[in-house]
Structure 1
Amino acid sequence: MNTKTLDILIPVYNEDKVIVKTIQQILENTKCDYLISICYDYDQDPTLTIINKNFPNNNKINFVKNFSRGFNNALKTGINKTYGDAVMFYMADDHENYMLIDQCYERFIDGYDLVCPSRFIKGGKMEGNPFLKELLTRLASFFFQYFSTLPIKDSTNAFRLFSRKVLNSIENFESIKGFTLSFEITSKAHRLGCTMTELPSVWRDREVGYSKFKLLSFLPPYIRWLIYITKTSLFHTTK
């Protein structure tokens, strides 16, 4: 009997009612042994009140307060305060990919260290994004696919499952700005020779609220890990 568990980390910040549908979809459709951890920045966030009102005393929902502020730090806190065999980063406004949770978990059980939902393999989609954001995302993925040894086509998707073994093997998490923690972990896991696989996923830009992705200020952190992966690829090809 399989006893491995999954922690689903959802970073939130003033999400309002968008989070209700997200949690409901997970609760109604996910079959594996999981716990949802809501990673929040401050106690007055209205998201917390909305969750408690709609899902009172639900033992599948856990609240984790960020040790600092921001998306990356919320996920770092979630990693440090959960204990499952695998950890998934899931977005608060993702109403498309809940059926992938069990599929990702099954791939983890099959032995993969990282399971990477992909917008750029057959069956995957990226819709409704601002032109420049989508262009740069596609260019980055094209670069890694054809000019590096990274074995996945969607390098920058934050939605991802990591084995706890991989997370424990990384000495420290450095990402501060942007949504780069998932990219950083993937980059470092690649250097460690961890196994990765992809599943098709759909991403639609949020229809409620506003995106916190600030393109110009977030580019430098992404470029840093782009260089890191490039150096890793050179190392792999010269071994």
Structure 2
Amino acid sequence: MEILGRILIVIPTYNERDNVLMITERVRAAMPDAHVLVVDDNSPDGTGEVADELAAKDDHIHVLHRAGKEGLGAAYIAAFKWGLDEGYNVLVEMDADGSHQPEELHKLLEAVADGADLSIGSRWVPGGKVVNWPASRELLSRCANIYTRLMLGMPVRDATAGFRVYRAATLDKIGLADVESQGYCFQVDLTLRTAKHGLRVVEVPITFVERTVGTSKMSSRVMAESFWRIAVWGLTGLPARLRGKRP
């Protein structure tokens, strides 16, 4: 992937001590030339200390320590700013729990190499699938994405997905300073911003595997934030959509 330049894979963590070694080893094996940034929100289980030990042994692993848990969005914003300041050309989002397969990352990177400004690892396009998810979680995700498409008028089928690749130029263009979304609607927020700027979004089918260690960070508060923010964005952009313009 030399054509893409320097690649930074961002892995946010909170209480992922039992997963951070596993995911960094898999990422380093799958993408040996890429760099990894573990962003830890002062995990009480010692995840940050484990990440520091890994970084001390591998100059391709870096750690960004944050004061406390402020949400997924804030962690990614801090990481993106760090990566842009350090001169990385491509920035990757990936969960720490193994649900995103590092061995599939090359497909997302190839989409960017072929011209995408943002590539999304999608569960809900042909060829995408989920493994070991309870029916309730699958229904929730499908319904959330249908709601997002209807409210925002975007053709993206998995706008809530957290396995994705941005060009640094994309993040520069869409702007990060005024992003306020914190939970999983952060993914929708940046997808919408990318679409509004007329940039190319490509979905790549992936296999999403439910975590086997640790607990999900999904909560009713996160879902509520997503619901009302998407509603506000949708209602704000409705006049433009009725005129036939981009979202």
Q: Secondary structure of 1:2's match?
A: helix
1:38-74: per-residue Cα shift (whole Å, max 9, x none)?
0012286522333455564201101112265332221
> C-alpha separation between the residues in 1 aligned to 2:89 and 2:24?
21
1:63-110: per-residue Cα shift (whole Å, max 9, x none)?
112265332221111011113112111000125521222221221122
Q: In 2, are the aligned partners of 1:140 and 1:155 still within 8 Å (CA)?
A: no
Post-superposition shift, 1:149? 3.7
Aligned alpha-carbon RMSD (Å): 2.5
Q: Write 1 or 2 for the structure with the bigger share of helix.
A: 2
After TM superposition, the score normalised by the length of structure 1 is: 0.86
Residues 151-166 of structure 1 aligned to structure 2 (within 5 Å): 151-166=155-170
1:73 aligns with 2:74: yes
Corresponding residue of 1:38: 38
Distance 1:36 1:233, change over 3 A: farther
Distance 1:51 1:66, change over 3 A: closer
Gaps of 5+ in 1: none
Gaps of 5+ in 2: none
Which is further off, 119-128 or 6-15? 119-128
Corresponding residue of 1:172: 178
Q: Which amino acid aligns with 1:189?
A: T
**How many residues are treated as equivalent by the alignment?**
236
Post-superposition shift, 1:138? 0.4
> C-alpha separation between the residues in 2 aligned to 1:200 and 1:182?
17
Q: In 1, are the aligned partners of 2:39 and 2:79 still within 8 Å (CA)?
A: yes
> C-alpha separation between the residues in 2 aligned to 1:134 and 1:93?
18
Corresponding residue of 2:154: 150
Corresponding residue of 1:107: 111
Q: Secondary structure of 1:82's match?
A: helix
> C-alpha separation between the residues in 1 aligned to 2:9 and 2:202?
19
